[in-house]
Every structure is written in C-alpha cells, then in structure tokens.
Structure 1
Amino acid sequence: MDCTAVLIATYDFLVRIAAGVTVRFVAVHQQCQPAAQSRKLQSSHWFEPCIKPLCEDTLGTCIDTAAHKWGDRVGWAFVQEGRLCTYAQYKEQVDSLARGLLSAGFSKGDPLMIWSPSTFHWTLMAGAAAKAGVLSASTHFGLTPPEFEKCLTTVDFKGIYIPQPFKIFNYYEMLCSLIPELKDSPPGQLKSKKYPSLRTVIIDSDQSMPGCVALRDLMQGGEADLQAAQKGVTAGDPFTIVFTSGTTGTPKAAVLSHSNFINNVLMYDQRAKLTQETVMCNPLPFFHVYGLSVVLARTLVLGAKAVVPAPAYDAAAVLKAVQEHRCTELYGSPTMFVDIINSPLRKQFDLSSLRQGESGGNVVTPAIRSLVREKLHVNVRVGFGTSELTTAAIVTSNDDPDDKQLNTVGRPLPGLEIRCSNQYSLNRLS
C-alpha cells in the first residue's frame, strides 16, 4: 500500500468557508502515525489525477448525439405542466427555435437573458441558444425590477425571454417599468435609451403583447442556416452566463463555456455513476447552476431522465413527482430536504423507488445527512464548488468510508487542482 495522500475536505473546512474565515484542507495518509488531533493540517494543496481526456463537444453536439442514441426515450418530465419530452422531440423543437432565433437577428455571442421560473420552454430556450451560438444567461425568477435592472447594467443583452405571469410576477409589466419604450416599439426593433444594445423581448404568451416577439412564432423556425451556425460554435466558446452570489450579495456574472459545462458533469459522473436507468427528481431552480446542470447536462450527456416537479419548489409537488415517476435519485438544497422530510404529506406517498439523495449549495451538516438516511432511507451524495466551475469541485462518493460520507464534502473531482490560501496574503497554507 503506497503513501498517497487522499485529500478530504472536512465539514470544518466547509463551515469555515461559509463563515468567510481562513480555511484549510485535511490530508489523510494511508500510512501515517496516529495523530492526537484528527484534523491536524497535513497539506493545503492537492491535484486529483484524471485518466480520461477532456470532451471537446458543444452542447449542441450533445443534443444531436442524445437524439441519435436515445431518440424515443423520455429525457424530461415536467409534472405540473403535464409534459413528457423524448430526446428526439427535444432536438426537433430546439432546432426550430434555434433557426427562429437566427432569423430574428441573433448571432454568435449575442447575450440573451432568460428571466423565468423552471419550465420546459426554459430548457428549449437554453438549448436553442447553445446550438445557434447565442450566449444565454439566467437569473432568479423572483427578482424585483430594481434587482433585475442590476443584471441589465452588468451585461449588454440583445434579447430577453420572459414567460406569461407566474404567481405574483408579471414579467411584461415589470419590464415595461424598466423599459418604457417597449410598449411603443415594433417587435424585435426595440430602441431603449437606457439599454441601447437591447433589441428583442421574447414572450411566452398566447396573447400578442406590444413590443414583443411571440415565442410561438419563433418556434416555427425560419430560413436561417442552423447547420452553418452550429459549425461555428466551439467547445471553448461561452455557453451561458450565471448570475451568482445572490445569496451573499449583488449577483455577479459568471461565464461558463461549453467545455466547462460538459466536462464538469463527465468528471462528476466518475463519482456519481449515473446510468440511463437513473431517474432524477430535480426541484432545483434552473437559474442556479446546480439545477441547470441536472436538467441539461446530466440528461443530454449522461442519458439520465430529469423529472421536474413544478416551476418553483414545492414539497408536495416533489413527493408527488417521486411517486408518479418512480424517481431513483432526489436532489435539493439542505433546506429542501428538511422541508420534504418535515412535510405532513410525506407518509402519504410511496418513496420506495429512491436509491440516492444529493445535496449542495449550502452547508449539508452531518445531522441533515443522518436525518435523510433515517427518514428517506437513502445515502446523501454531497458536493461543494463554485458557479464558475459548473457546480461541484469536490464530491463525496458511496465508495468513501461511511464516516467520510457523513462528515466531509469528499475529494476533488478528477482533473482539478485545489489549493487553500491565506485569504489576505494569498500565500499557500503550510
């Protein structure tokens, strides 16, 4: 047995990060003297080797490949919308919408904001933008107009996609409050004094709204050469902009490339080991990179099925989705898991199909992991990372020792190099 150090990011490490203080990694050696203190610092730097080469596909290529490999299989179930979509159907609709975007004047690199709850059309817009080379972006569907305005001043968007009113949110009226010229503009020819780059507002509505291009019209496609546009997109090109850090401050724009988005899920899967039989219950919002990765990358790249309970999180909808679609994995933030477990409706549903839980996005304490094991009878896979890396950089595995699964956030993903530094001097900890 060699002396290779296996880097374990402890719960203490995660708590320290959340608290904004200096953090450290703990290295556990296979051959070392028993330490009086189990969390004694051994190393602050680690590189996890990767034996598989990076994938050079774009998301558009993944859409085509998935349709070819799994065409008639259902890849998505939007429970509250009552919609099932196969991989072949997804490609067909994405291609039509991509041609519609190109015909409407969008071109490679044009930023397009998706301001919407988590719906099927959200995924179509993101997929179509990726195929056409348009740079999609997303932010919290519940932003107020002043909050959304900060996004508009951060990126020079050419277009904005909005849905019909959802709950208390009337997106069209909120946009009109920010862009008074919208109601008097011809569709696709917006001229805003405050946002001069903005030309097109796309709305998903059965009614024609002044100044807006209807999504249903774009879905008819157009004469644009999608094949040529798709050939011009490379793995290193930007795929999406995620507005992040909204829970700790003003959201900042993180840009992810196609390569970043796709390779992260491939490296992640070396730990998670999803299969085409995996049915993922995903109540996570698509504007968050975690939910986005589940609904697009794990489906299109890995062939797993995504079940979306509702456009916004609802514990009862999650329980219903797990039972109706026999979900094998349940994803969510720590607070979602606690809410689901504490739901008075939980015992009314059959959750016996579940084989795995997965959580991240905040501190997943040992107590929460133990609670999920006790009440839902599944282990919890925990990830920790940043939006800039596309979700997880460090993940636990069911192959890890049990105490590590309960008390750590695991090991770095293959190919990642991690160093903990002093937050002020940036010097490596020693």
Structure 2
Amino acid sequence: MNWVELFRARTEEHADAVYAAAGERELTYGQLRREVDELASALLARGVRPGQTLAVWMTNGLDFLLAQWATYRVGCALLPLYSYYREVELRHALVESRATVLFTSTDFAGKTDPLPILHRLLDGDGLPDLRLVVSVEPLDLPGVVTLADLSGGPVERDGLDRIAARIAPTDVMNIMYTSGTTGLPKAGLSLHSNNLATITHWSELAGLGSGDVILGHVPMFTNFGCLYTNGLALYNGCRLEVTRTFDAAASLALIAGRGVTYVPGAPEMFRMLLSHKDFTNTDTSTVRSAHVAGSAVDPDLMRRVVDELAPNAMQAYGMSECGGLSTVSSARDPLERRLDSVGRPLPSADVRVVDPETGHTQPAGVVGEIWFGDVTPGSCVGKGYLASPEATSAAITPSGWFRSGDLGRFDEDGYLYFVGRRKNMITVGGFNVYPAEVERHLQECPGVAAAFVVGVPDTRLGNVPVAFVVPDGDLTADTVLTFMRERVSSQKQPRQVWLVAADDLPRTPSGKIRTGELADLARDRLGESPA
C-alpha cells in the first residue's frame, strides 16, 4: 500500500468525521477527499505529472493540508519549505529540487513578509522549472492563481486512480531539508514505504484510533508536523486541531476546549506548556499520550510530562531520511527506560551501534555511531539526499546501512541511549566528552531550566566544554560551576558558564539549537581560548 491508497480508504471510511479544524473552520474526511481530488485534477490539467516535486511555503492551516494531500494524489513528491525562509534559502530549495509548483500564502503569522520575496523570485527567469504558483489569497503577480481558481472543477477520477495504482512503495514521498544544526541543510528523501511502516508501528504503540484528537501545533513544514501529525491523524481517522504557530496558551486552551487526547512536540514545547502560568488551571484530563522527540530529552522533563500531562507519553528517536522514527519507548516499557532511553527498535528498523572507523558492532554499554538498516526492502532507509550523490554515498554504506552521524549505546536489554552528534563530541585531553551527557548533569542543578554545551579550543587540552544556561529563577554562573565540580570528572566540567535568555539562543526554524553558531558565540565571548 502507498499513502494515496491509504488516503482513499480513510476518506471513504470516515467521510462524515472531521479530519482537521482550525478555529471555526472544519474539514471533514469527505470534504478533504472532494477538495483534494478537485485540486489534483486541476493540477493535472495544468501540466503537472507524477514524479515531479511540488513545494509548500506557508504556515500551519487547512490549506497546507489540501496542498499536501493533493501533491501525493498526483503522484508527486512533497517539499515543505520552512515558513521562516528568506529569499536566498527559498530560491536554493526551489532550484535544487526543480519544483514545478509552489503553494504559498501571504499570511505567515509575522514570521516572514512573503510578498517582497515572491516579487523578487518571480521577476525574471531564475526558476526555470517553476511553472505554477498557487496562493491562498489573491496576489497581484503575473502567473499566480489562487486555490479557489483550482477548486470546484471536474474530477479526473480515472486518471487519479491510475496514478495511485502506479505509485511504488519505494517512490519518494517527502523531501525534507535538514535543520542544519551543524552546517548547510541537505534535502533528505523519504519513501512511501518507510513512512508508512513507521506510522503503522507508532500508531499501534500509541494506541491511537478514530476517537482520538491530535493537537496540531508542531510546524507542518517539519517531518514531525507533516508526517507525525498530519499523516498520523489521517492514518488513524483522528481529528486534528490545528494552530497556526506554537503558542503555549493557545495549545492549553485547545487541550481543555477540544478534548485533546494526544500531544506531539519537541522537548522545549513541553517545557513551555508545563511552565506556563495557565497550566495548573487547565483541564488536561483528556490527554492520554504524547510524542516527545526532535532533540535530546531531559529525563526530569520526561518525568514531568508523564506525571503531569500524558501518562502514556512516548519518547522516540530517528531521522526523517529513514521514516522519521526507528526506536520508541512506550507505555509498554518500564518507566525508568521511558525516561532516560529512546526505546527499542521498531519492527521495521534494524538498528546497530558500531565503531564508526571499522563498522564493527559495539557491545552493550559501549558508545558508537548509530546505524539504521531495512528489515524488509524500503522499511527504514530512504534514498539519501537530493542532488547530492556525495552526501548520499557518505551516509549510506554499500551494504545499505544509513550512518546517522549520531552517537549512542545499547544496554543489555536492547534499549538505545542517545549520547549526541558525532560532530559535536569534544575531545578533552584525549578523553571523549559528549555534550548531551554534560547537559543532563547541568539540568540537575537547581535553578537551571535548560543547558547547552559546546566545545572551544584550548591550548593545553585541545578542547574544553563551555555551557550556555537558561536560568529558572535566581541563579549564578558560580553556583552552576560549583555544582558541576562536585558532580562530574574534570574533563566534563564546563570551563565557562553563561546565563542567557532562551530567546537569545540561535535556533533553526524547527526550534533546534544551531550548535555551530553557538560555538562561534562561545569563542566570541571568550575572546581567546581559555587556558
């Protein structure tokens, strides 16, 4: 089965149920099917053909969902573009992907002013493959049509059904640019098959069904939002409550007002929900489960999520290039393993921890690079990276294993523990120091809300760790330094601690810390390498 066949089945099975709601606007599964088929038919009439790439550049909303499912319906690959993108980033993605259609909007919730960018992009011949721009609102630009212009027309049912039957499980489904935390972003290619395999297993572990209400506050331009919110809701016949952007107060209001049962989000999103002034007065009793992923999770935060919000909260780990998820800890696992591990491999993923130099499997307890493999063809590993054979060959071994670039270790019971990015490992006087481990210790210090560790050059030891700490209440750098001296070995002790506001940290559009920029900031603050 591919996602278009699944789309047809679910929209028929749940035709009268609401698929998604945004404010007062609702879209039933039956309406979704009709409007998507009309839009897909109009795209075919304008020359769109299976195998092309269609891009979506807008914030969360029901129109994003229509564009997403219409893209799949015509047998094309979806390219979600960060709503934060500026002209250079947007042009690069459209040129590299050879996108033939761009869905967009003028309402970017204050993140970007798209009109000047669109004017410059469409003025000239710098995008030779782009044939059509579809806007939610009317735009006074040549060649731009509105969604309404492409709605309400005849449906080419036979043609759409032929396309659905020809989509192979290993066809590219999503083109996802990485967040670029350590360098330039790359466009990963995920498949119908690996995305469907992971969603199937995740849904079973989460216990989701047609009575569930999913909170859609994760950005839809991310794999987390596009697949593990939008796709997850459709797979299970759920109702999706959509917010334009993440706002803790708005999310809490939806949880209480719409009976949300399932909350996905990055760790920082849960931290903001739990610390919001309205949280203690919000009825969250309907929430059964949560999906906490996207970056390393502090065990104390995970315990709070389980104790205070979602008793069946699940932690997961994976890469969008490999279906998004490869390991999961769920309510079936012991609580302590749910708090500090990223779980065990899904049935669709073969996961190894190896010596990155030799490729030999590491024994339990020994840190190595995490590699992903298929259990059946196409069940986990995607097709690498768009227009980058060098990056693809560097990531995928000749025998088909995907090198994640992440470090981790298995315990004796097969639970995986995420240690950090291999590129971010700090070698201090010959000893390997993992920022994620140091960050976990820092977060145990009273008064620390969040901590981020990078390495800086040192004339004596080669490199040493330094830390940026977000305080929660009264806190001094000396307090943190004293705490760490009493807690960890000297190699792991930050040589410098800076107290910063969370909003002052460099982040990607999806909320991850840009470690390269943070390291540059640390070097700038030091002025010279610490002695």
* TM-score bucket (shorter structure): 0.7 to 0.9
Partner SS state of residue 173, structure 1: helix
Partner SS state of residue 301, structure 1: helix
Q: CA deviation at 1:282?
A: 2.5
Paired residue for 1:136? 78
Contact 1:329 1:357 in 2 (8 A): yes
Q: 1:412 to 1:255 in 2, by over 3 A?
A: same
Deviates more, 1:82-91 or 1:372-381: 372-381
AA in 2 matched with 1:180:
D
- Which one of the candidate residues 136, 141, 150 is aligned to 1:204? 136
Paired residue for 2:278? 345
- Residues 1:219 and 2:162 are matched in the alignment: no
Q: 1:216 to 1:248 in 2, by over 3 A?
A: farther
What is the alpha-carbon distance in structure 1 between the residues aligned to residue 142 and residue 281 of structure 2?
47
Question: TM-score normalised to the size of structure 2?
Answer: 0.65
What is the alpha-carbon distance in structure 2 between the residues aligned to residue 401 and residue 167 of structure 1?
41
Paired residue for 1:66? 10
What is the alpha-carbon distance in structure 2 between the residues aligned to residue 377 and residue 273 of structure 1?
13
Paired residue for 1:417? 350
Deviates more, 1:243-252 or 1:352-361: 243-252
- Which one of the candidate residues 169, 190, 205 is aligned to 1:235? 169
Q: CA deviation at 1:153?
A: 3.5
What is the alpha-carbon distance in structure 2 between the residues aligned to residue 377 and residue 195 of structure 1?
46
Paired residue for 1:187? none
AA in 2 matched with 1:400:
D
Contact 2:248 2:272 in 1 (8 A): yes
Paired residue for 2:99? 157
Paired residue for 2:57? 115
CA RMSD after TM alignment = 1.9
Contact 1:264 1:389 in 2 (8 A): no
Paired residue for 1:176? 119
Contact 1:66 1:300 in 2 (8 A): yes
List gaps (5 residues or longer) in structure 1: 1-56, 182-191
Q: CA deviation at 1:177?
A: 2.1
Question: TM-score normalised to the size of structure 1?
Answer: 0.79
Paired residue for 1:389? 322
The CA deviation string for residues 307-364 of structure 1, in whole angstroms up to 9 with x for no partner, is 22x1111111101111111011211110000111111222343222112222100111
Q: CA deviation at 1:142?
A: 0.7
Q: 1:117 to 1:247 in 2, by over 3 A?
A: farther
What is the alpha-carbon distance in structure 2 between the residues aligned to residue 247 and residue 142 of structure 1?
15
AA in 1 matched with 2:120:
S
After TM superposition, the structure 1 = structure 2 runs for residues 166-315 of structure 1, keeping only pairs within 5 Å, are 166-168=108-110, 169-181=112-124, 192=125, 194-222=126-154, 224=156, 225-308=159-242, 310-315=243-248
Partner SS state of residue 114, structure 1: strand
AA in 2 matched with 1:199:
R
Q: CA deviation at 1:414?
A: 0.8
The CA deviation string for residues 105-145 of structure 1, in whole angstroms up to 9 with x for no partner, is 10011111111111111111110111111222112111111
Contact 1:293 1:390 in 2 (8 A): no
AA in 2 matched with 1:137:
L
Contact 1:381 1:397 in 2 (8 A): yes
Q: CA deviation at 1:166?
A: 2.0
Q: CA deviation at 1:222?
A: 4.7
Contact 1:369 1:379 in 2 (8 A): no
- Which one of the candidate residues 25, 36, 42 is aligned to 1:100? 42
After TM superposition, the structure 1 = structure 2 runs for residues 6-155 of structure 1, keeping only pairs within 5 Å, are 57-79=1-23, 82-155=24-97
Contact 2:291 2:314 in 1 (8 A): yes
The CA deviation string for residues 171-220 of structure 1, in whole angstroms up to 9 with x for no partner, is 23212223423xxxxxxxxxx2x222122111110455333122111123
- Which one of the candidate residues 359, 383, 399 is aligned to 1:426? 359
What is the alpha-carbon distance in structure 2 between the residues aligned to residue 64 and residue 223 of structure 1?
14
Aligned residues: 360
Q: CA deviation at 1:402?
A: 1.5
What is the alpha-carbon distance in structure 2 between the residues aligned to residue 66 and residue 88 of structure 1?
9
Partner SS state of residue 354, structure 2: coil
Partner SS state of residue 94, structure 1: helix
Partner SS state of residue 277, structure 1: coil
Contact 1:208 1:214 in 2 (8 A): no
Deviates more, 1:313-322 or 1:233-242: 233-242
Contact 1:118 1:311 in 2 (8 A): yes
AA in 2 matched with 1:124:
L
What is the alpha-carbon distance in structure 1 between the residues aligned to residue 123 and residue 132 of structure 2?
14
AA in 2 matched with 1:330:
V
List gaps (5 residues or longer) in structure 2: 364-531
Q: CA deviation at 1:379?
A: 4.1
Deviates more, 1:270-279 or 1:363-372: 270-279
Partner SS state of residue 398, structure 1: coil
